[in-house]
Chain A
Amino acid sequence: AQKVTQAQTEISVVEKEDVTLDCVYETRDTTYYLFWYKQPPSGELVFLIRRNSFDEQNEISGRYSWNFQKSTSSFNFTITASQVVDSAVYFCALTKAAGNKLTFGGGTRVLVKP
């Protein structure tokens, strides 16, 4: 069985601080895909990034960066210089193969105060 753990339920920061969200996963599969989704207060789910198990390169997209470490089964997400618009719930998710049979973590609520 697959499992995704987001140990931080809520993080509060002041604008311009950096914030790192932890994601630890469990799977017996050698091929798998990891995702991060953002859920702003409006409620929709916004795709942020996909990473497959064979690609351990870190990725940076603007103020967002992701650190994938297969050795520790972690896929952490950092927001640099946070802004109020980053306030949302962030979900880490895992799938073996099928496009959307996703196993989600419990989510981390990020509150960025001005």
Chain B
Amino acid sequence: NAGVTQTPKFQVLKTGQSMTLQCAQDMNHEYMSWYRQDPGMGLRLIHYSVGAGITDQGEVPNGYNVSRSTTEDFPLRLLSAAPSQTSVYFCASSYSNRRTEAFFGQGTRLTVV
């Protein structure tokens, strides 16, 4: 099993550009989510999904869109990149059983210049 796969691993964008961070999991997990990691602030929840077709906002959703058309995939779209979106992005997935931990992807390091 590959687990949670994120692509790309690194990306540099110019201000105003758009892009999609990809996230795929092969564990048949119902829950998926996106976090951003900034120095000294831990990880903060951007968007999450409890199943295909269902998404909701987390703590820091502005500037990001998500959709979940399949159980496996949960892409994160940056509509118009800003320097404030420079961060490391993590995708996570887990079973809907509350007793399970979240599995994280390797992360995407994004720099917006």
Q: Are A104 and B42 in contact (CB under 8 A)?
A: yes
Within 8 A of A (CB), among B62-113: 88, 90, 92-104, 106-107
Q: Are B103 and A47 in contact (CB under 8 A)?
A: yes
Instruction: Identify the closest chain A residue to B29 (Cβ).
Output: A99
Instruction: Tell me the number of A-to-B contacts counted with CB atoms below 8 Å.
Output: 73
Q: Are A99 and B94 in contact (CB under 8 A)?
A: yes
Q: Are B42 and A101 in contact (CB under 8 A)?
A: no
Contacts of B31 in A (CB 8 A): 98-100
Query: Contacts A44-B106, A91-B43 known; A100 to B93 CB distance under 8 Å?
Result: yes
The verdict on B50 contacting chain A, using a C-beta distance below 8 Å, is: yes
Contacts of B99 in A (CB 8 A): 33, 50, 52
Q: Are A102 and B43 in contact (CB under 8 A)?
A: yes
The verdict on A85 contacting chain B, using a C-beta distance below 8 Å, is: no
Among candidates B45, B102, B106, B107, residue contacting A99 with C-beta atoms closer than 8 Å: B102
Q: How many angstroms between the C-alpha atoms of A110 and B44 in the bound complex?
A: 21
Contacts of B12 in A (CB 8 A): none
Q: How many of chain B's residues have a CB under 8 angstroms from any CB in A? A: 32
The verdict on B58 contacting chain A, using a C-beta distance below 8 Å, is: yes
A and B contact pairs by CB, cutoff 8 A, 22 listed: A33-B98, A37-B104, A43-B88, A45-B104, A50-B100, A50-B101, A52-B99, A98-B50, A98-B98, A99-B29, A99-B30, A99-B31, A99-B94, A99-B101, A99-B102, A100-B33, A100-B92, A100-B102, A101-B33, A102-B92, A104-B35, A104-B42
10 new A-B pairs (CB below 8 Å) besides A50-B100, A98-B98?
A: A33-B99, A35-B102, A50-B99, A99-B95, A99-B101, A100-B32, A100-B33, A100-B48, A100-B93, A101-B45
Q: Using a CB–CB distance below 8 Å, which chain A residues touch chain B?
A: 4, 6, 9, 33, 35, 37, 43-45, 47, 50, 52, 91, 93, 95, 97-107
